[in-house]
Amino acid sequence: MKNNLVEKYLTLSKDLKPYPPLNNYSPFIQASSWNTSRYFDPFYDNRTQLHLLDVINQNEAFVMLTENKLRDSSKEIFLKYLKDPQSIKKRDSEINSRMEKVEKIYSDYTYQKVSECSDEELISQIDPIRDLIWEGNGLGFFSTFFEKDFCWELIKESKFELSKEELEEIWDTAIQPVSFSFEKQQLRFFLNLVIKDTKWEEIVESCQFFLASYFDVKNLELTEKYLNEHYGEFKDVEAAKEKLKKEEKETQEKKTQFEKWHSTLDTNQQLLADYIQIIIRIRDTRKNFFSKGLTILWKIAEKQFQKAEQLKDLIRFYTIDEMKKGIDYLLENKEKITKRENGFTVLINYNGTIEMEEADFQKVKQELDVYYLDSQTSKIDTKKNELKGHIGSPGIVKGNVRIVLSPEKAIDFQEGDILVAGMTRPEFVPLMRKAAGFITDEGGITCHAAIVAREMNKPCIIGTKIATKVLKDGDIVEVDANKGVVKKIS
């Protein structure tokens, strides 16, 4: 059976460069229109198109997109910054403004509040919440991709006075984050709740956004389990105070060390170092920001599905625009939504139109895998048995490859394995703690894998484009993250 939306997506994207397919992305998130012109055109001069194709069934999901918008947005803001370093301050302020509003709504919309609100009131909140999180995402989208070769291209294009040798000299120190990573932000959020002597059940609900992903939002039971496993030793007020003090001391030491190094640089070197720190902070902060917004929307969806006596597991197959139509629409389309578990595709056009179609998941996946691999110039060097990427965090390590598309399914992941993923996200962190090193298809210096690797001091190679496609479980590889090379040993 031919899938018309796949054909349409490929036609729309024929002149654009494919981004590595991203796994575990549900329509509830992807079909929320985050990629559309309404959330980009007000904030960028470029009008590069960004179309998304989400493919999902009961067990798997992935999204196809292109990287042109990502690169063009990064290029536009960086070149503006080089001409006028103050230009980024307004954008930063606008992002913070939206974050503060979402923070307020998140604090207000507890499960108790959602249960007390009328359906009409909840529906009226959907668009304002969605607009806040995706405007914030659009404003900060330029921070999503930045790596050394790309940076050098832009420096040359802008005729900015910085040599390749200077770039090489300062790069490794400049990319070491001095702000709290989003995992550290979550830890501080938890610790501060404990220090305020907040009731445990309130802490659990307040921290629900910790487990919000691009796929779904976990329930309170799983949130509580996560908190006990990862933060259980800090549930006592004094233990929380001691831990918070330690975290803040370590961060301050990093800042002091960075500032000392920063003072040895000339003006242009400082400008670049400052920009790198800004984009690392913005990209990291975005994650907790829209996790909170998505958690609110998920709670509203849960109420609708409960009233319609629909399984909560089906929320990820639903879209936010459908949610706005209310419970009557959900009841009328109950059978159609249930069928989506068998496989369907969603095309989200840059102009904002959304189209859906039933799909043979495996057939579509196979077709798009072939399309993606054919588009890539990255290949394994068969003579040397090597695959190249970018350095996310230096170091050299050997180990067994474990391809992880869904961390929930990697129950037999072993200590010392090499984690190979399309990209990593918060839900990958428990596996990252076990892994000896990381390899990803996507990513620049601000990506999750690179930042966590630098925090954990583990070797990491990002941006290989094809690692999940050409490596296999059980392969023994050497991860040389000093050179950005993965070598298959056997």
Tokens found for residue 429? 């962190």
- Same-domain status, 235 and 104: yes
Task: Please check the confidence at residue 337 and state whether its pLDDT lies above 60.
Answer: yes
Tokens found for residue 31? 């079909």
Number of domains in the chain: 2
Write phi, then psi, for 156 (nearest 5 degrees). -65, -45
Write phi, then psi, for 52 (nearest 5 degrees). -125, 145
- Same-domain status, 368 and 475: no
pLDDT by residue (tens digit) across 203-253? 999 999 999 988 999 999 999 999 999 999 999 999 999 999 999 999 999
Last residue of a domain, one of 375, 392, 412: 375
pTM, to two decimals: 0.91
Residue 26 CA to residue 20 CA, distance in Å, equals 16
- Same-domain status, 391 and 346: no
Domain that holds residue 170: 1-375
pLDDT reported for residue 379: 64
- Same-domain status, 219 and 294: yes
- Domain with residue 451: its CATH number is 3.50.30.10
- Same-domain status, 220 and 325: yes
Alpha helix (H) residue ranges in 62-181? 68-83, 87-108, 111-116, 119-140, 148-158, 164-174
Last residue of a domain, one of 323, 344, 375: 375
User: What's the pLDDT band for 73 if we cut at 50, 70, 90?
Assistant: very high
Exposure string of 126-161, with b = 16+ CB inside 10 Å and e = fewer, is beebbebbbbbbbbbbbbbbbbbebbbeebeebeee
The 3-state secondary structure of 308-339 reads: CCCCHHHHHHCCHHHHCCHHHHHHHCHHHHHH
- Same-domain status, 368 and 482: no
pLDDT by residue (tens digit) across 390-412? 999 999 999 999 999 888 888 88
Sequence letter at residue 125 = Q
Task: Please check the confidence at residue 1 and state whether its pLDDT lies above 60.
Answer: no
- Same-domain status, 310 and 393: no
Place of tokens 């307040």: 206
Last residue of a domain, one of 344, 375, 406: 375
Mean pLDDT of the chain: 93
Using an 8 Å Cβ cutoff, are 40 and 138 in contact?
yes
Q: Coil, helix or strand for 250?
A: helix
Instruction: Tell me how far the alpha carbon of residue 39 is from its chain's centroid.
Output: 17
- Same-domain status, 351 and 397: no
- Same-domain status, 312 and 359: yes
- Same-domain status, 60 and 81: yes
Residue 391 CA to residue 484 CA, distance in Å, equals 5
DSSP label at residue 487: E
- Same-domain status, 332 and 249: yes
- Same-domain status, 317 and 416: no
Contacts (Cβ under 8 Å, ≥6 apart) of 427: 211, 213, 407, 408
At residue 50's C-alpha, the angle toward residues 447 and 423, to 5°, is: 25
Using an 8 Å Cβ cutoff, are 261 and 178 in contact?
no
